[in-house]
Structure 1
C-alpha cells in the first residue's frame, strides 16, 4: 500500500511475511498465491506491499539463480504485490517448535550473518520497483547481550564497515539505493534507541563521504545514510522509552530511521491483579522469547520468569499483539505508544521514514488465534486497514 505524504513523497506500508513458515521457494510462492493474495483482496487495493522474510538458503538461491528470482518476481506480479523491504533478522527456523535465542544466531560477529545480508541486498535490488526511492533491510541489533566483549564489538564493526562499503558499490553500479537498519530489541546488545544511535553514529550522513540528499520532495531527513535504525514500536514500548525522546536522540545523532515496524506490545497495568496474572498465562508459550520489563525497575527474559519482578509497577511484554484488536481486559496493548510514534514518523512536514511494516508474527501462538489462512488473512487485513485509517488521519492520502 502506498500513501502520498503532504510533502509529495511516497510512504510505503507493508505486512511482514515472517508470519508465514515457508523457507523454500515453492513454499514462499504458495504463501504469496494464498494468504498474501487474500489480504490484498480483503483490503481491495490494487497493489499490496509485502515485507518478505527469506531464510538464508532461499536468499542464497535467489541471489545466484536468475531463474529462481524470476519465478518469485512473477508470483509477486500476478498477485498484485510489491517489495520495498525485507526482514533480515531471522536467519532460519523462525517457525521451529522452539525458536527462543536461536533467532539471534548467527550474529554480527559471524561471517554467515554478513553473507546472508549481502544476499538479501542482491535480491532486493532486483525486486525493488523502479520508482521506489530506496529499499530497506532490517537486521538484528548485533547479538544477544551475552557474551559481549570489546573484541566482539570490533568484529561487528568491521562487518558493518564492509556492509557499508558494499552498499555504496551497489548504488554506484546499479543506481539502486539499498539501506540496512539495525532493529533494537529487548535483551540484545543494542536494546534501546540511545544505544543504537551511539553505535550507528559513525555511519550518519554527516560523518562520511557519499552522503545522499534523498529523493526529490522527500525532505531533509529521508534517505541520507546507508545504515540506520529500524524502529519497532513494540520494542520501544517494552523498554518504556518515550517516543518523543527516542526520536530526539536519533535526530541529535543524525541517525536515520530507515524503516519502522509499527506494532504493539502486551501491557499489564496492575500485575498484582489476579485476573490479569491468570490471563497472562495464556501468552506464556515456549516458541518465542517474551522479554518482560517492569516500569522503573528490572526485567526478565521470558514470561515464565515474571515472578522475579516486584509486581508493584506496570509490566510490558515483548509479545506482538494485533494493533486493531485489544486483548481481553484487564490486559491491554501499547497502541498509545504506536499512535504517538506514527505521529512522529509521518505526521510532520516530512516523513522520518518512508517504510512502515506491520510485523505481528505471533498469530500462530495467540490465544484463540486464526485457524486457517482465511482467518489469518482477515486478521492481517484488519491490522493494515486500522493503520491505513491512522495514516489518512495524519494527512496522508492513499494512492490507488
Structure 2
C-alpha cells in the first residue's frame, strides 16, 4: 500500500524557496512528531512553480534530493488550485482556469513532468487530482467539447511520461461534475481508464448526501478506477433550525473559501452555493452538510458534528487495488479560533487518526 500523505495546499508557498521552507517548517517536524522514517506528501505546486520545475531537470533533481534528505516522499500532486490558494478571498477563483482553457492543460502536464521525477522507484503510478471541469455556470456544449479535446491532449502527454501518471478528476458540489454520478457519466467512454479516473474527496461525497459504497460501485461498474482518495470530513448539522447550531455555524462562515451547503429533506437535496446563503435561504427542514474540511480527529462540539462516518464507509468500499490516500484539511487557518491547533501537532494528530481508519477498513 502506498503511504498515507497529507496535502500541502494547507501551506501558502507560491515559489520553490517557499516550498522548500515549508518542508522544514512543517513536513519534517510532522514526520518527527509521528516517529516515522518516511512521510508522504500530497504536494501542491502553484502553476508558476510547476512550470519552472518542468523546464528545469536540475531543479527537479534538487527537489527530489531535498525531499529524500528529510525522509519525505511524493506519489501524488494536488493540481486543483492553480495559484493564489491563500489569497484573502478565493471562493470561485479556485475553479479557474477551467478545463476549457489551455492554461489548465499546460499546468496539468507540467505537474506530470514534475511528478515523474519525484516518484519513488517502488510505486506503481503517480496521481494528479484536478478540478471537475469548472464551476457549473456558465457551461455550454461548446465548453464541453473544448474540455474533451484538452483532456485528450493531456492524456496523450501522460502516456509520454517516463513513469505512469494518472489524472484523478475530483467531483465537487456546485461544479459541472457535481457528483460522482456526473463524473462517471462524463468520463465513461471518453477517458482512457489507464490514465484517467476519479479522485474521491470524502467531504464532497458527504456534502452530496451520497452513499459511499454505491459511489465506489458505480465507478467500478463504469470501468473506471478510484485513483486517489482525499480523506476529509464535512460539517454535519443535524438540526439547522436549532439556534445554538446557527450560532455555531456563523463562526464557520468565513470569507476565503466557498462552503457549499446541502440540505436533505423528504428525499430531496436542496442546494446553497455558500454557507452564508444557506443560513439565509435554506429552510432547515432536514440536516445540512457544509463543504468545510474539518480536522478528522477533532470533530466540532454538539450541536455540530462531522462526517467521518462517510469517510470510514468510503474506505471500506474501496477495492483492494492500489489507491492513493491523502488527508486534505486545507482549512486549518480559517477555522474558528476555538477550533484551531498548532499546525504541526494538528497535522500529526490528523494523520494518526486517518491511519487508524485506513487500518480498520
TMscore range, shorter length: over 0.9
Which of 252, 262, 267 in structure 1 is aligned with 2:231? 262
Alignment correspondent of 1:220: none
1:287 aligned to which of 253, 256, 262: 256
Deviation at 1:95, TM superposition (A): 0.2
Match of 1:363 in 2: 332
5+ long unaligned stretches in structure 2: none
**Is this contact kept in 2: 1:12–1:354, CA < 8 A?**
no
Residue 189 in structure 1 maps to residue 158 in structure 2: no
1:318 is matched with 291
Query: Deviation of residue 202 (structure 1)?
Result: 1.9
- Is residue 113 of structure 2 the alignment partner of residue 141 of structure 1? no
The CA deviation at 1:108 is 0.4
Alignment of 1:294-373 (within 5 A): 294-295=263-264, 296-306=268-278, 307-345=280-318, 350-351=320-321, 353-368=322-337
Alpha-carbon displacement from aligned partner over 1:317-341 (angstroms, at most 9, x marks no partner): 0000001111021000001101101
Gaps of 5+ in 1: 1-9, 206-223, 395-400
User: Which residue is 1:110 aligned to?
Assistant: 101
Between the aligned partners of 2:207 and 2:313, the Cα distance in structure 1 is 15
Kindly state the Cα deviation for residue 393 of structure 1 after the two structures are TM-superposed: 2.6
Q: Deviations over 1:103-145 (max 9, x none)?
A: 0000000000000001001000011111110000000000100
1:122 aligns with 2:113: yes
Q: 1:389 to 1:127 in 2, by over 3 A?
A: same
Q: Supply the distance in 1 between the matched residues of 2:338 and 2:350 (Cα, whole angstroms).
A: 14
Residue 26 of structure 2 corresponds to residue 35 of structure 1: yes
The alpha-carbon distance between structure 1 residues 204 and 67, as it changes in their structure 2 partners (threshold 3 A), is closer
Q: CA deviation at 1:85?
A: 0.1
Task: State the 4+ residue runs in structure 1 displaced beyond 4 angstroms.
Answer: 369-372
Equivalent of residue 345 in structure 2, options 375, 378, 389: 378
Distance (Å, rounded) in 2 between the aligned partners of 1:138 and 1:297: 26
* SS of residue paired to 1:356: strand
Tell me the alpha carbon deviations over residues 78-110 of structure 1, each in whole angstroms, 9 at most, x when there is no partner.
110000000000000000000010000000000
Q: Is the 8 A contact 1:294 1:314 kept in 2?
A: yes
CA distance in 2, matches of 1:361, 1:313: 28
Q: Does 1:20 align with 2:11?
A: yes
Secondary structure of the structure 1 residue equivalent to 2:41: strand
Q: Which moved more, 1:160-169 or 1:65-74?
A: 65-74
The CA deviation string for residues 275-299 of structure 1, in whole angstroms up to 9 with x for no partner, is 0000000000000000000012311
TM-score, structure 2 length as denominator? 0.96
Kindly indicate whether the alpha-carbon contact (under 8 Å) linking 1:87 and 1:137 is maintained by their aligned counterparts in 2.
Answer: yes
Report the alpha carbon displacement of residue 200 of structure 1 after superposing the two structures with TM.
Answer: 1.0
Q: Secondary structure in 1 aligned to 2:188? A: helix
Distance 1:274 1:309 in 2: 14
- Contact 2:53 / 2:60 at 8 angstroms: preserved in 1? yes
| C-alpha distance in structure 1 between counterparts of 2:339 and 2:208, whole Å | 29
TM-score, normalised relative to structure 1:
0.87
Q: Residue 66 of structure 1: CA displacement?
A: 2.4
RMSD between aligned residues: 1.4
SS of match in other structure, 2:138: coil
User: Kindly tell me: are residues 135 and 203 of structure 1, through their superposed partners in 2, closer, same or farther at Cα, counting changes over 3 Å?
Assistant: farther
Q: Is the 8 A contact 1:363 1:369 kept in 2?
A: no
Contact 1:204–1:253 (8 Å) recurs in 2: no
- The question of whether the paired residues in 1 share the 8 Å contact of 2:204 and 2:234 is answered with yes
State whether structure 2 residue 63 is matched by structure 1 residue 72. yes
C-alpha deviation, 1:203, in angstroms: 4.7
Aligned residue among 172, 175, 195 for 1:226: 195
Looking at structure 2, the residues matched to 11 and 281 of structure 1 have their Cα atoms a distance apart, in angstroms, of 39
Aligned residue for 1:202?
189
8 Å contact from structure 2 (residues 295, 329) kept in 1: yes
CA distance in structure 2 between the partners assigned to 1:260 and 1:203 by the alignment? 22
Which residue number in structure 1 is paired with residue 43 of structure 2? Answer: 52
Contact in 1 for aligned 2:127/2:168 (Cα 8 Å): yes
- Distance in 2 (CA, whole Å) between partners of 1:34 and 1:64 is 27
Aligned residue for 1:264, secondary structure, equals: coil
On the 8 A contact 1:291/1:301 being kept in 2, the answer is yes
Distance 1:202 1:43 in 2: 43
How many equivalent residue pairs?
357
Q: Contact 1:364/1:370 (CA < 8 Å) preserved in 2?
A: no
Q: Distance in 2 between matches of 1:33 and 1:169?
A: 33
